[in-house]
């Protein structure tokens, strides 16, 4: 059997806030796994991919650059196989994610998509938000200020003005949920799934785990958690995923964030073969 050449496109460091080393480690680990399986692996930066004259046939990628994303979408339309798909990556931008999860019945906080110049106070009061999260809707979080916690509706006004000053025109506002914060990682159609309490393990990107604080260990159904996450991944068109959810005091699980190919830092050793085999399966199906 002739092994294919697989092109890996790295994530630019600007899209790995406080996780540059972890993102690079999982990506290089998967590249090494594919090489060990006999595949020829070519590694590109996002910029190198943009200037590449030919179209790769097989890609695995953590890219986030918008221009690179558009080029990858064109490659996929022309027959390229990519893990994750560029369309799944785009679906993880918060406005798309919020709409898709809500429309497909994935448990999710009550949410509002609004313009930063809009007076949302009456709507927040109508929805009875005592506190909430404001998140830029048009892209992934790059800076700490792209996700902010508002303690009461009146605080939202100043925060929206700050977003507008930074050129961010739309935001997603999520109702704050009380309960245990859980971080999860998964690979669709594989045995691999991992979850943990990030506050208890001092695992953080921007430090927001402190808002919900130390987990109380609220009982919940682990199979239910995985089922929700796998369904969300399929709705968003992802193979490799991670994210966060809240387990409320009554044991209900709601997804508050979902990401294409995160760092898998606490479970990298176990995740690498699962991700590698997911990529290989895509190549095998194509052939």
Q: Mark the ranges of the chain whose per-residue pLDDT is less than 70.
A: 1-3, 17-18, 139-143, 201-211, 285-287
Given this model, what pLDDT does residue 205 score? 47
Given this model, what pLDDT does residue 7 score? 97
Which of these, 238, 239, 231, 233, lies nearest to 280 by C-alpha position? 239
Strand partners, 4: none
Give the E-state strand segments of the chain in sequence order.
Answer: 5-9, 40-44, 58-61, 81-83, 111-115, 132-136, 147-150, 170-175, 180-187, 193-196, 240-247, 253-260
Given this model, what pLDDT does residue 152 score? 84
Give the residue carrying structure tokens 């046939």.
Answer: 57
Given this model, what pLDDT does residue 206 score? 40
Which of these, 254, 268, 267, lies nearest to 181 by C-alpha position? 254
| Residue 211 neighbours by CB under 8 Å, 6+ apart | 149, 176
Is residue 84 reached through a cis peptide bond, with omega within 30 degrees of 0 on the bond before it?
A: yes
| Helix/strand number for the chain, H first, E second | 10, 12
Given this model, what pLDDT does residue 154 score? 81
- Please give the backbone phi and psi of residue 113, each rounded to the nearest 5 degrees, phi first: -105, 120
Q: Read off the pLDDT of residues 172-212 as tens digits, 9 standing for 90 and up.
A: 999 999 999 999 999 999 999 999 998 776 544 444 556 67
Structural domains in the chain, CATH included, are: 5-85+267-286 (3.40.50), 110-175 (3.30.1490.20), 180-263 (3.30.470.20)
């Amino acid at each position: 059997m002739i092994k294919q050449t697989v092109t890996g496109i790295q994530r630019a460091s600007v899209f790995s806030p406080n996780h540059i080393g972890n993102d690079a480690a999982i990506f290089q680990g998967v590249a090494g796994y594919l090489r060990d399986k006999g595949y020829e692996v070519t590694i590109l930066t996002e910029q190198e991919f943009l200037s590449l004259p030919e179209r790769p046939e097989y890609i695995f990628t953590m890219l986030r650059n918008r221009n690179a994303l558009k080029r990858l979408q064109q490659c996929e339309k022309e027959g390229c196989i990519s893990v994750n798909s560029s369309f799944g990556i785009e679906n993880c931008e918060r406005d798309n994610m919020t709409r898709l999860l809500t429309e497909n019945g994935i448990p999710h906080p009550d949410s509002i998509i609004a313009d930063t110049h809009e007076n949302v106070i009456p709507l927040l009061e109508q929805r009875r938000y005592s506190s909430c999260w404001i998140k830029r809707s048009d892209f992934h979080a790059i800076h700490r200020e792209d996700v902010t916690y508002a303690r009461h509706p009146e605080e939202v006004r100043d925060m929206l003005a700050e977003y507008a000053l930074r050129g961010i025109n739309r935001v997603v506002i999520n109702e704050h949920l009380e309960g245990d914060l859980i971080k999860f990682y998964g690979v669709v159609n594989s045995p691999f799934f991992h979850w943990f309490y990030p506050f208890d393990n001092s695992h953080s990107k921007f430090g927001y785990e402190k808002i919900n604080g130390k987990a109380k260990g609220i009982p919940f159904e682990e199979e239910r958690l995985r089922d929700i996450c796998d369904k969300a991944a399929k709705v968003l068109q992802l193979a490799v995923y991670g994210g966060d959810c809240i387990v409320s005091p009554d044991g209900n699980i709601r997804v508050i964030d979902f990401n294409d190919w995160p760092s898998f830092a606490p479970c990298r050793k176990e995740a690498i073969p699962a991700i590698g085999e997911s990529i290989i399966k895509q190549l095998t199906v194509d052939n």
